[in-house]
Amino acid sequence: MTDFAFVRSEMTAAQPAPNRSSGLVAWLRKNLFASFSDTILTLLGVLFLIWAIPPLYGFLIGRAVPPGGTVEMCRVENVGACWAYIASEIEFFIYGFYPMAEYWRPNVVFALLVLLGAPLLIPKVPFKVINAVVFFVVFPVVAVVLLSGGSFGLREVPTEQWGGLLVTLIISVVGISLSLPLGILLALGRQSKLPIIKSLCIAFIELVRAVPLITVLFMASIMLPLFMPQGMTVDKLVRALVGVTLFSSAYMAEVVRGGMQAIGRGQYEAAQALGLGYWKRTGLIILPQALKHVIPGIVGNFIALLKDTSLVYIVGMKDLLEAVKTKNDAIEWASPTQSVTGYIFAAFIFWVMCFSISRYARYWENRLNTGHKR
């Protein structure tokens, strides 16, 4: 015997979510004012922002002298950043003492770097192999011929005249593209079962990782000429390149080794069972997995290398930092905020490059994250 008092025949309209669990108020409550101590922290944070932002805005934009301004405008009391100084010296910051009539040559190299590099970085663009061959084999030759000249009717420009961002980019691009393969070889050597090769690799890696980059650069710039046969000189830029590349490859080797150690023994054994030889086993089975594991580490090394290129300043190379520092001491733009502005500009350039590399790496990490998600 059933006796229903009430049976609903249609759905009631949905009610809005309670204020406490959704919407702006709830978000604020959860993220900023969850507890008493949280509220105090938030208030301290807000006080910090109030203290920091207006002066920062005033310095960078409000009281700053925009590009195109004059020195006199930068010399007034309580002036902000002197962007006019940056704008008027920008060519020196990019090319250094490279002859002005030949600026088109670095420009072509920059353009080629972007045109050939960008398709390599975007996964969807086809012809990766051809692209890579062109980028890593043809492009360096073209770049060297174009920049140094002396052939094809181009005026010769000795490397002493190169400078600024040009040198920074050359050292980083060469360093990055040479240190990864060298690092992989060193890591393989370190993992090898052949005692002589193994101990040589360990000695090199540990020695280089133990000392600061400056001493490696000093060694490259002072001792490399001593090591060469008489009469043979090594270009200053090449010395710096050798130093930076060797230094970075030791760090790269350790990162790659970490990735190789993370791979289970079963992978090696399965590859052996398939009858693959050492190089096929390494190239087709081990390295693709190992490198995938350690992308963050590899990119971290790339960023470290990019930042470390600024150290070549100490052994007398003319990179971006050196260009900025030289001009900061120049008298034509002498003004109270000249050097602060210069360093902020250089810092911004480095920051943009490093930050975009790390974002790009994050993107690849997500793309390659096949089946390791929990």
Partner 1 sequence: MASLDGARNEAPRTSLLNDPVIRGIVYQIVVGVLVVGFIVWIVNNTAINLAAQNKTTGFDFLWKTSGFDISFSLFPFDRTSFYWQAFLVGLTNTILVAVIGIFFATLLGFTIGIARLSSNYLISRLATIYVETIRNIPLLLQLFFWYFAVLKAMPAVKDSIALPLDTFINQRGLFVPKPLIDEGFTFVWIALIVALVGWFLLGRWAKARLERTGKRFPVFLAGLFGSALLIAVVWLISGAHLTFEPPVLNRFNFKGGVELPPEFVALAFGLSIYTASFIAETVRGGIQAVSHGQTEAAQALGLKEGDRLRLVVIPQAMRVIIPPLTSQYLNLTKNSSLGAAIGYPELVNVFTGTTLNQTGRAIEVIALTMLVYLTLSLTTSAIMNWYNARVALVER
Is 125 in contact with 132 (CB distance < 8 Å)?
no
The string of DSSP letters for 92-109 reads: HHHHBT--GGGTHHHHHH
273's CB contacts (< 8 A; 6+ apart) are none
Phi, psi of 96 (to 5 degrees): 65, -135
Question: Does position 212 bind partner 1 by CB under 8 A?
Answer: yes
Question: Does position 339 bind partner 1 by CB under 8 A?
Answer: yes
Return the sign of the alpha-carbon dihedral for residues 7, 11, 12, 18: positive
**CB of 42 or CB of 159, closer to partner 1:** 42
Of residues 97-136, those binding partner 1 (CB under 8 A) = none
**CB of 31 or CB of 70, closer to partner 1:** 31
In angstroms, the CA 240 to CA 255 distance is 23
51's CB contacts (< 8 A; 6+ apart) are none
CB count in 10 Å sphere of residue 371: 4
Residues 325, 326, 334, 364: which binds partner 1 (CB under 8 A)?
A: 325
Q: How far is the CB of 247 from partner 1 (least distance, A)?
A: 11
Question: Does position 326 bind partner 1 by CB under 8 A?
Answer: no
Is 303 in contact with 357 (CB distance < 8 Å)?
yes
Q: Which residue, among 87, 90, 134, has the nearest Cα to 112 in the 3D structure?
A: 134
In angstroms, the CA 244 to CA 101 distance is 31
Tokens of 162: 């190169």
Segment interacting with partner 1, rule: CB under 8 A, options 90-98, 115-123, 144-152, 226-234 = 226-234
**CB of 144 or CB of 222, closer to partner 1:** 222
Residues 51, 57, 227, 363: which binds partner 1 (CB under 8 A)?
A: 227
Question: Does position 226 bind partner 1 by CB under 8 A?
Answer: yes
- Alpha helices, DSSP H only, in 58-127? 71-74, 83-95, 104-121
**CB of 42 or CB of 177, closer to partner 1:** 42
In 3-state terms, what secondary structure has residue 127?
coil
Segment interacting with partner 1, rule: CB under 8 A, options 3-11, 96-104, 118-126, 305-313 = 305-313
Q: How far is the CB of 178 from partner 1 (least distance, A)?
A: 19
Q: How far is the CB of 64 from partner 1 (least distance, A)?
A: 15
Question: Does position 336 bind partner 1 by CB under 8 A?
Answer: yes
Is 66 in contact with 81 (CB distance < 8 Å)?
no
Question: Does position 54 bind partner 1 by CB under 8 A?
Answer: no
Number of residues that bind partner 1 (CB under 8 A): 61
In 3-state terms, what secondary structure has residue 82?
strand
Please report which helix (H) or strand (E) contains residue 304, including its range: helix 295-308
Question: Does position 42 bind partner 1 by CB under 8 A?
Answer: yes
Cα 71 to Cα 75, 79, 154, distances in angstroms: 6, 11, 37
**CB of 131 or CB of 310, closer to partner 1:** 310
What does the per-residue mask of binding to partner 1 show for 238-277, with x meaning CB under 8 A? ----------------------------------x-----
Question: Does position 180 bind partner 1 by CB under 8 A?
Answer: no
Is 327 in contact with 342 (CB distance < 8 Å)?
yes
Q: How far is the CB of 370 from partner 1 (least distance, A)?
A: 22
Question: Does position 31 bind partner 1 by CB under 8 A?
Answer: yes
**CB of 148 or CB of 309, closer to partner 1:** 309
Question: Does position 210 bind partner 1 by CB under 8 A?
Answer: yes
Is 171 in contact with 243 (CB distance < 8 Å)?
no
Q: What residue ranges bind partner 1 (CB under 8 A)?
A: 30-32, 34, 38, 41-42, 45-46, 48, 193-197, 200, 206-207, 209-215, 218-219, 222-223, 225-230, 272, 278, 303, 307-311, 313-314, 321, 325, 328, 336, 339-340, 342-344, 346-347, 350-351, 354-355, 358
